[in-house]
A and B are shown apart, each in its own frame.
Chain A
Amino acid sequence: NAGVTQTPKFQVLKTGQSMTLQCAQDMNHEYMSWYRQDPGMGLRLIHYSVGAGITDQGEVPNGYNVSRSTTEDFPLRLLSAAPSQTSVYFCASSRLQTGELFFGEGSRLTVL
Chain B
Amino acid sequence: GENVEQHPSTLSVQEGDSAVIKCTYSDSASNYFPWYKQELGKGPQLIIDIRSNVGEKKDQRIAVTLNKTAKHFSLHITETQPEDSAVYFCAASNGAAGNKLTFGGGTRVLVKP
Contacts and interface: CB of A to CB of B under 8 A. Distances in A.
A7 to B, nearest CB: 14
Interface residues of B, number: 29
Chain B contact surface mostly: loop
Contact of A101 (B9, B34, B42, B95): B34
A40 B87 CA distance: 11
B99 A97 contact: yes
Contacts of A92: 43
Contacts of A95: 99
Interface string A75-112: 00000000000000010101111111101111000000
Interface in B63-82: none
11 contacts: A42-B89, A43-B103, A44-B103, A92-B43, A96-B99, A98-B51, A98-B95, A99-B99, A100-B49, A101-B46, A103-B44
